[in-house]
Structure 1
Amino acid sequence: KISSAIVEISDFSRVLFYTFKEDFPYRDILGYHGIDKGSIGRLKKIGMPKETYEEIYKKGILLGDQSCYIPHTKKDIIDQKAVDYGKVEYAPGKGHWHREDNLLVALKNKVGNFIGMISLDDSKSGLAPTDETVKPLEMFANHISQILLRRNLLKEIRGSEEKYRTLIETTTDMIWTLDAKGRFVFVNQVAEKVTGYKIKEWIGKNYITGVLPEDISKVDEAYRKAMNGKSQTYEFGAYKKNGEIFYLFVNTSPIYKDNKVIGTVNFGRDITEIKKANDEIRRLKEFNENIVTNAPVGIITIDKEGVIIYENPEMLEILGAEKDKPILGIGKKIQEMPNVIAAGVADLFQDIVSGKKIKDIVFPFTSIYGKEMILSLDGVPLLDSEEKFDGGVFLIQDITEKKRMEEQFFQSEKLRALGEMAGGVAHDFNNVLSAILGRAQLLKRDAKDSEIQHGLEVIEKAALDGASTVKRIQEFTRVRVDKEFGSVNINRIVEDAIQFTRTRWKDEADEKRIEINIVKDLREVPAVKGSSSELREVFTNLIFNSIDAMVEGGDIILRTEKTGDFVKVTVKDTGVGMDKGTQKRIFDPFFTTKGVKGTGLGLSVSYGIVSRHNGEISVRSEPGEGTTVIVKIPIAESVERGKKEKEHIIEEVVKPTKILVVDDEDAARDLLYDMLIMKNHKVLKATNGKEALEIFQREGDIEVVFTDLGMPEISGWEVSERIKKIDPKTVVVMITGWGSQLDSEQMAKCGIDRVVAKPFQVDQVYNLVADCVKLRKQRENE
């Protein structure tokens, strides 16, 4: 119809009407007149883009505002395949139309760009077109352009409507609009799926419908700000129709009409599962952080460069970091820190950076805060998804105290082994010395010749010296308490030790023209549980050691104080100090740094005494910095009670007594027999426990029993226990070559009344018999 109308109002009988498009053949033929269908079919296959026509307009003859005349003389500016010339022949002449002439009238948009074209030929008048003759065509072309633009706009609107309707209905997000009163105007299908409410149930409801009470203020604020022209993003929770809770992440924007906000459009994404997952991730993160924060081991994490990025509280405590102070290690490369290099473990940390594991590495370490310790280290690399190193985790424990306890245990084991060996040797020596000493003393009593008597005295003195040596060995090696400890005033013990050593730190120092000062800081402390003589020996040894370490004089500081359930005694000197190697061996028996004048037993004996007191002894020292020894002794449970001194029993004449002597050693048994016979006692002998019990039951009137402790089959303990069951009045004396290392509880349980240690002397035995006779008489009178 448009093409026919153009023919009616114009001077041309053939018209081709088309618009441009982006794809081949770059034009849509919308209408034509005077052209056969065959030609139209051919022309539809020829590509003629808009840019080609723009070039034609540059080369042709421009007419009017938007027309271009292409005379046959310039026909080559058009692709001849894209042309279908007219069929009418015209008379030649200036101003005449030619069959191969062509006129183009452009269709333009508002900004003047080509949107299509009207192509005309076969002039009705036979005249060439002019500016005047094209004006009607251009007016008609503009009208057609407006029609086309409106049609395309409607098409785009319909397309947009369809597109957005599809988007709204196929999106996974909830979409809703609210009016100026906060009422639901539109809700998409997703909202129905998410909430369970039908769309019609939403329409007209208020915007806070179903919102969780704690989120109402948040939703209300977002709506009000959007109504003031400000878009908002936020989260809130709401109830589904079935009562379940769901969560949305929402973007709310204002809707404008005539520059006025008339409502809001809202896009809500269901984040319920995401929120649950995030909550679980957060819970796991908090759980893991809680584990790391409260872990009883130190934890350090590094990044892939070896830089420290985290140290947990236990690690900071191990290192000696002060609370509320900067953490000095964070941000430093662990393998380049001077103290790590000094500890010789930098290569181990480099191994982690290289992706290797490290395990159970023990080393001495000085932290960046100056604290010294022994550490145990485990480390594992952290790998990324491509199995490349991405960081590392170190687990670190301070095992300083554990190592100290292990060393104490090893020290105790060495002393125990030495004690068992030396104790056995001392026992055998005591048996030998008993025979020598006893026989020498018996012979001396009857000897008349002065030379013989002198020789016997030499033997007696040698035996007594030997007994003294054996006793010292037993004292050094004893591992059991031979008597109950009492309550001891530790300050008095320290004062005694100071006085006992006065000749060394005062008199000898004055002779050497050096000055040794004793500095006392003895505070009020509770009594401790122990042996006064043994503890006195400990502190005497410690003071002697301090004196020996101060060849040019100095200070010895003695301090007492209560710490927990212990009394702590500190002995500190300003002497030459010790290196680490020496400190490890100072409690070893026979180890000395004093040359030939040292025995190497002082600290070993002190260690044994403190151990028997259930105490602790430790040493801190540095070469040139002096030595500090700390002794801890448990506090006594009750106040010390005075102990009665044993009365010295003077040998006196006693009535003949029936006595049984039991010993598997012939020399000891015969010696006792001869001693007792000389005092007119009636003496029976037994070589073992079984024989002793048979004799005791057969005789029936034995008053005193001397029994050896260690015998085959039946021990002295069992002999005493059975005899006391037969006759509780019988006095039982235990003979032992183990010195005084007998358990008082065991003695009471088995009925042991007295103890005589080998080697025993004649007068000692006679006095003991007299004591036993008195005890027997006392029991008979009860």
Structure 2
Amino acid sequence: MRMLMPKRKDSKKKRNADNRSRVWATDCMTILDGITDLVVCIAKDGKILSINKAVEKILGYKKGEVLGENVFKLDILEKKAIPTLLSLLRGVEKRGRIKRVVDPKTNSMELTLNRKNGSMVHVEANTKIIKRNGKVEGFLSVLRDITDRKKLQEAIKESEEKFRQLVENIDDIIYSTDKNGVLTYISPRVEKVLGYRPEEIIGQPYTKFLANEDLQCIEGKFQKVIEGVLEPSEYRLISKSGKIHWVKTSSRPIYKGKEPIGLYGVLTDITKEREIYEGVIREKKVWEATFDLITDPIMISDKNRRVVRVNSAFARRLNKKFNEIIGRNCYEILFKGKKKCEECLLHPRSSVVTNITIVENLVFPGIYLVSTYVAEIENQKTVVHYFRDITQEKMAERMLRGLNWKIINVQEEERKRIAQELHDELSQTLTMLKLETSWLQTKLTGLDAETRKRLHSIIQTTDGLIDKVKNICFRLRPSTLEEVGLINALEKTVEDFTVVSGIKCQVLTRSEIENIDSQIATVAYRIISEALTNVVRHAFAREVVISIERKNEKLRIEVIDNGIGIPDDLMRFTKCLGVYGMMERARSIGGEVTIRPGPICGTIVKIILPLK
């Protein structure tokens, strides 16, 4: 009995210890169930010995669904990760320590697990080996859900990649320096601009690549940027090949706390822009040097029509000094008697189209072709007036018109003479031939049928020739034009036109047309005849209307057809002598001819002739 008593006492102590262990284990599990991280105890064969409630939140399983299950047989681990983990377990059992982890200092590794609903969750696993009597019994792992962190890391990585691609592919150069001006970063674009690889520049002072002329200035500006004074700079850099490159930079200081530790900025290669700018400056100097050498007068005024600049030729024509012209209103200088600007003939009608005017009543003598246009000079909107002296050309033109009118009169007289000779000689001869042939036909008897047929054919042919001669005489010089006037001559012409062409034609008079000078009537008749000829040749029209009106001492005529419209070559007046002749006839008496497409189809020929 005395020997058994200690055993009962020891047994009781053991039972108490077991009870305390169970209570402690229960308390521990209660504590673990309140932890948001997943805590799991796994035997070395992969059996799950214990797990906290976080499994429901992280993996979607209830504790009872996974307790006692083999972790490798559950659809929790990624299939591609299972061989790695099995190898890891075998290595632990063999060596008694964990290898091949992400971070050896913390024994942590990242895993991707499958949730019960099929979605993925990223976890960070911190694992400890459980040993008993020096032997590995299993593992205790704490798994933390890092899905949001992984997404953030991936987003940061993607953002960094986009930023890297942006920096490496933009045309500008991104750079940073320390507060001493030593380059700490420069984007790969520098190789294309300056020929240096980034690693050849990083660690070098920026002054090493500056042109000597800009060194002192840029060093001062560098210190200002470090101090927080921000201003863009333009300076020259020397490339690896020795070529000068103009660049424009915009920089900002880099702070650590409140202390500036360097700066970062953007370099833009402006070499081409600089070359263009310098070229403009050179051109400006050339322009200023040659402005006064131009022999034609030039005047430049501002938006208020005050003269801001003239050349020497302008001052010479006015016989005034420059200070007597600059600052005055342009219309006061150009015209005798002060005019309002709005009444000025040289006032530009458009800001984009050059206004061209012929002026005779300027202060300086002569006739001038004045080109007026809006131009921006030195960032100011100005009006440029260019005066070209065309006095001699206008006099020659007037002489040419007078000569042309004389030629037209000579042509008309020659037409009249030829028409008269055709009528008096050829027409009478043909009439006599017809009479003689008719006499033979009546006097000769006993002729066979073929001979009589031939005599009859000669008489008919003679009649046709007589009619043709009459038509030729009429076209050369319409007798009715002098006898009965323009309208009756046109009606006869229109009647013949309709018969020959098959095109319906009519003459509309909108006012009394009488007592028109024969020269004016002849010009009008010839132009209308040419217009009708063009209708037959080009228009493919079915109807033509000739409208005639006398208004404001001018004869206004319109020839309107409903054809296919005027071809481009006729519109440009470069390929049709007939159209050119129409215009020249009108100009010879101070008139004009314009040709334009009709509102829907066809063509309108508008003729304006002065009656005085």
TM range (shorter): 0.3 to 0.5
Q: Which structure's CA Rg is the greater one?
A: 1
TM-score scaled to structure 1, two decimals?
A: 0.35
Higher RCO (CA 8 Å, separation ≥ 6 residues): 1
